[in-house]
A and B are shown apart, each in its own frame.
Chain A
């Protein structure tokens, strides 16, 4: 059984709480849940939506059309009316059509407490009844959600939820086919930002500095909330320039360190990326993309900063670009990011986006044992005369941290000699040092992981995707295959330098991206000498869906 619920309302009406609690409840019943949100950049008002997709096994990709539509006000219904499936059940305070289930949320709320503050809990209870989850399961999640606010608040929420539940149950008898009885299955339900933060922790990160910027803020928020358990030093910087330089300072001192931001903040960090390249101090930056240019659409999603990331930083130096596709991949990508940053002493940029950051994914097993974790810090005992920038076969010099022993550790943003002192020697030292850094690129490229190839063996059309569009692309491949179409998928989680890969010949390649200019396609041309034949691009601030790919395939193939 599968179902998509859309909860729509103004900021401040509590759709986030309704969505989170419902998602947790369905998850607690053993179902796979995927949620995604789109919202306006404001604290109160506007119209936002929270979409819950529930299924027997994980379908970690966005759906748009609602089987059940809960609207907390009339404007929400008008705004999202195009998101209703034929025959969708509408749930609201007033009848919108024959298929409406009417529950007077605010009136019932007044009957509980004299005020309307429990209206969203009543709506939550009503939605639980419509989708067919047990009331007891909802109550358990509510208890957990409101435990910190005291027994009285928990009791009032239980009462409100029960009122909404009973009210809706009477109205939806025989009309709602869904039922989600308890199953013996358990998935983690975790957002992309939380998974990125946990991945950083697992990778040994001990320091994060960041300036709040949607949609990246959840990463430092998670680490700050759990600082005592995780042992991560969290610093809210005065700006993104400070954030990246703090991370570099901590990394220079031997700590695995990171920062996280979005496009505008990343623009400010660019000098730090170049500094990481020159000083060979490892750096991990999460760039959570949203539509630009400039402030753009601050709370929406896009994959529009790939080329910016690839080209970020003045001068020529190696860097790596990774792009996790879901919450499990986010954990492993962060481990990879710290690993590559450390191994090659370079900046590594992890491209997330609002879809990945805010969505909650159902993950059965994180397979933590598969994460390769290794320290590349050298042993001070191995040196008598230590040179921080010693010339080596691979261009990677043994790295010590200051305070590890008697050896002096240096970092210099000027061109420098092997000891890290400024040089103006254009004949030997400067060109050799430049060549030493660039030498790392070929070794780095060999370390990059190749794309996932899915059903490409007999494919005539191959979708080429990266980052958060993976779930939608996989779903589209499955759906199209069921209709006999010979389609396959190449999906990159590691993008730059382009990993060595043999792309299938004699197929049509499709760029499938959440941007307007097919940025990965232009890098494929650069890296693989291959031009894409077709493009499926979405750039309206909303996530690309399997349905978009399906439709484009039928229009263009």
Chain B
């Protein structure tokens, strides 16, 4: 266990004062410290949006790339250096909209990284348009008579594809969120943590409206039971249910075969192959020896 203060920096935060994103930031710092990690052990990867600015607000390595592209960048980083603890901080527009395809394929690949999705059900930075999780019927700036499309239920999609760790947290309960993120980071495989993050600027409800609705997953739920997890997630009335829905530690990890052969060492450039090694590979292109 290290101190969460280790992760503090002095960068001025651009979020709206009072934004629940601050609760997520606190939880990320506490979780990393709780796992005994130091800033240089951690690489945060993000795309674009308010959530994607999170890596700037704590001390660590970070790659703040393009809209929707956090997951492929994180895969590249993780492939090259699996010793880093790699997390993606993203919003639902970034991760489920612009980058949805990458998340689907991350379910297949199963890299040992944690994806934290700040879900405010809205495009906040571009001033209040509907997002992939906006409830149908909600009036938004580009949907003046209400959003027609249905919201994505990505946690159900994740469970359907046996994503190894699928959870939902609540930004206004940073302590519980800290515990969830700690478990997610440690879990061997892809962890998807969707966080209910009410938008205090463009949202339709006061924060208490969310506090009244958020409730834990029943203690009787067995998170290793895929069908039970799916059945919880498919019920509309459970959309404010928080905790870990699904856990699975049986799947092959991204890069397992490569790492079994070459170990966990970084692929960072340290030496060049000797000309002899290249010549050895070139032998294949020599004509068959004639005798």
Contact = CB atoms under 8 A, between A and B. Distances in A.
Interface stretch (A61-69, A95-103, A228-236): A228-236
**Considering residues B14, B66, B71, which has the most beta carbons from chain A within 10 angstroms of its beta carbon?**
B66
Contact of B65 (A30, A250, A254, A413): A413
Interface in B245-291: 255, 258, 261-262, 266-273, 275, 278-282, 285-291
Q: Size range of the interface on A?
A: 35 or more
A188 B282 contact: yes
A467 to B, nearest CB: 22
B282 A189 contact: no
Nearest to A243: B72
Interface stretch (B38-46, B143-151, B186-194, B218-226): B38-46
A256 interface: yes
B239 interface: no
Interface string B67-78: 001011111111
A411 B65 contact: yes
Contacts of A120: none
B83 interface: yes
A228 B281 CA distance: 11
Given A204-B272, A377-B269, A231 B290 contact: no
A29 interface: yes
B80 A207 contact: yes
A249 B73 contact: yes
Contact of A422 (B53, B105, B258, B269): B53
Nearest to A363: B285
A271 interface: yes
A257 B64 contact: no
Interface stretch (B29-37, B54-62, B167-175, B201-209): B54-62
A245 B266 contact: no
A235 B75 contact: yes
B101 interface: yes
A237 interface: yes
Given A228-B261, A403-B268, A414 B64 contact: yes
A74 interface: no
Contacts of A422: 14, 53, 56, 64
Nearest to A182: B290
Interface string A238-260: 11011101111111111111000
Nearest to B57: A421
Given A248-B73, A402-B84, A422-B53, A235 B273 contact: no
8 contacts: A198-B278, A231-B262, A251-B76, A254-B80, A279-B63, A342-B269, A408-B60, A414-B64
Interface of B: 11, 14, 39-40, 43, 45, 48, 53, 56, 59-66, 69, 71-81, 83-84, 101-102, 104-105, 255, 258, 261-262, 266-273, 275, 278-282, 285-291
